Chains A and B, each alone.
Chain A
Amino acid sequence: MIDNLNRFVFANIDSLLNGLWVTVYVCFWGLLLAVALGLVMCLVRLYVPVLRYVAIAYIEFCRATPILVQLLWVNYVWPDLFGFPSSVVGAGIIALALQSSGYLAETFRSGIEGLPKGHVEAGVALGMGPVQIFIRIVLPQVALVMAPSLINQIAVIIKSSTLISVIAIPDLMYEALRIVNQWFEPIEILTSVGLLYFILIFAISMTANQLAQFFNRKLGLVA
C-alpha cells in the first residue's frame, strides 16, 4: 500500500500538480465569466422588458441541461456554429460558465428582489440617477447578501469541473485517470485524488456556511 502510494501518487506528483493547476485555471475563468454572464442576464431579465423572455429562456436552458451535455454541446457544436471556442480549454470554461451563470442569475435576482423597496425610493428622493442607485445602493447590499452563495458556486464549479477531463483537458481528474490507465492500479491514485477534491470542496463550502452564519449574526442578513 505504502509502496504503491509512492509509486503511483508521489512519483507522479508533478503531473498531478499540473492537473490541479489546470483545474484551478479553468474554474477561475469559468467563475469570472459566469458572474459576468449571470449579472447581465439577471439585469436584462429585470430591467429590459423587450429581451426579458430571451433572458428567461437562457437561464432556464442553462439550469435545465446537465453539465456533461452542455460540455459536449459546446465542444462539438459551437466551433462549427459560432466559430469559437478554438481550444478544448475554451470549451471547458464556456461550459462551466454557462451552467453556473444560470444559477447565479437567479441568485442575483432573488438578492435584488429581496432588497427593501424603500432603499431605492430613498435614492430617488435624494435625486440619484438609476445607474447611481444601482451602483451605490443596490449592488453593495446585493454583493454582501450574495457572497456566501457565490462561494458555494465555486464549490459547484469545481465539482462539475471533474467532467472537463472528458474532452481531454488535462485537469486533475484527467491526470488521475491517465495514471490509472497506464498502470491498472486504481486504488491509491483514485482515492488520493478523490480525497483531494473532497477536501478542496469541503473547505470552500464550509467557508460559505461560516460566512453566511457570520452575516446572519452580525448584520441580520439572510441569504
Chain B
Amino acid sequence: MLDRLKDSLDLSVFWEYRVILLSGFGQNLSIFLLAGILATAIAFLIGAARLNRNWFIRTGALGYSEFFRNTPEYVLLVWVYYIMPILLTNLLKTRFDLSPYAAAVLALGVAYSGFMAETVRAGLLSVPKGHVEAALALGMSRRAILFRIVMPQAVRRMLPEALNQYVSLFKATSIVSLIAVEDIMYRVSMVNVDQMRPLPLYTGAALFYCLIIITASQIIQRLTNGWRVRGWA
C-alpha cells in the first residue's frame, strides 16, 4: 500500500504534460469567466424583477430562480447541448450548431443565475426604504435613484455572498468535460488513456482543485472580513 501511496503522490506525470493540462485549465477559466458574466447579468434582471410591482413579473421571476436553483447542473448541461440546437434549427429553419464550449457557458451561466438572483434580491432589499424616499424628496429621477442610491449600497451587501457563488460556479466548471469540452478533467482522462496511470493523475487533479478553491475562499474570507470591519459590505 505504501508504494501505491507513493505512486499516487508522484506528480512527475503532471510536469511532463504541463502544457496540455494547463491549456485545459485555461478552458475552465474562460468558461468560468463567461458563465460568471452571463449569470451576473441575468441575476440582476431576475433579482430586480423579483421586487417588481406587477404580480406576473414577480411570480415569473420567482419561478425562474426556483427552477434553475433546483435543477441539477448536469441535466441542464446535457439539455442545452443536445436539445437547444434541435429547437433552434426548427425555429430558424436553418442548420444551427452549438459547440460544446458555448453550451457549457450557456448552461452554467443560466444555472447559477438562479442562485445569484436570490443574492441580488437580498442585496436590493437590504437598502433601507428611507434612503429611496429621501432621494425622491430631493427630486432625483428613478434612474438616478437606482444608480446613485440603491445600487452602490446593494452591490456591497451582495459581494460576500456573490463571491461564494463564484467559487461554486468554478467548482461546477469541472463537469463541462462530460460534453467533451477539452477542460482539465478531460485532458486528465486523455493523459490517463495514454499513460495508464490513474493513481497520480486523479489524485493530482483532486489536490489541484482543492488547492485552488481553498486559496480562493481564504482570500475571499479575508477580503470580506476586512470590508465588514470597515463597514463597507
Contacts and interface: CB of A to CB of B under 8 A. Distances in A.
Contact of B175 (A68, A76, A190, A198): A68
A72 B185 contact: yes
Contact of B73 (A81, A83, A159, A180): A159
B206 interface: yes
A163 interface: yes
Interface in B80-130: 82-83, 86-87
B82 A190 contact: yes
B209 A69 contact: yes
A173 interface: yes
B75 interface: yes
Interface string A190-212: 11011001100110010000000
Interface stretch (A58-66, A108-116, A126-134): A58-66
B140 interface: no
B199 A69 contact: no
B174 interface: yes
A90 interface: no
Nearest to B216: A64
Contact of A64 (B86, B175, B199, B209): B209
Contact of A65 (B83, B172, B198, B206): B206
Given A69-B185, A190-B82, A61 B210 contact: yes
A191 B210 contact: no
A69 B174 contact: yes
A104 to B, nearest CB: 17
B203 interface: yes
B214 A77 contact: no
Nearest to A190: B79
Chain A interface, DSSP helix/strand/loop, else mixed: helix
B67 A198 contact: yes
Interface residues on B, range: 35 or more
> Main secondary structure on chain B at its contact with chain A?
helix
Contacts of B72: 158-160, 162, 173, 197, 201
Contacts, number: 107
B38 interface: no
Interface string A65-100: 110111011001100111100000000000000000
B74 interface: yes
A12 B199 CA distance: 38
A64 B214 contact: yes
Contacts of B210: 60-61, 64-65
Contacts of B5: 81
A191 B79 contact: yes
Contacts of B76: 194
A155 interface: yes
Given A60-B214, A68-B185, A205-B70, A187 B83 contact: yes
B78 interface: yes
B206 A81 contact: no
A91 B74 CA distance: 19
B4 interface: yes
Given A73-B203, A80-B4, A201-B71, A66 B172 contact: yes
Interface string A147-179: 000000001001110110010000001000100
A186 interface: yes
B205 interface: yes
Smallest CB-CB A-B distances: 6 pairs: A64-B213, A76-B198, A186-B82, A66-B174, A162-B72, A202-B70
Given A64-B210, A81-B199, A186-B82, 12 more contacts: A70-B206, A72-B205, A73-B203, A76-B192, A77-B203, A80-B198, A80-B199, A166-B178, A190-B75, A191-B83, A193-B75, A194-B79
Interface of A: 60-61, 64-66, 68-70, 72-73, 76-77, 80-83, 155, 158-160, 162-163, 166, 173, 177, 180, 186-187, 190-191, 193-194, 197-198, 201-202, 205
17 contacts: A61-B206, A61-B210, A65-B210, A66-B171, A68-B185, A69-B185, A72-B202, A73-B206, A80-B198, A81-B8, A155-B70, A158-B72, A162-B74, A173-B75, A186-B83, A194-B76, A198-B70
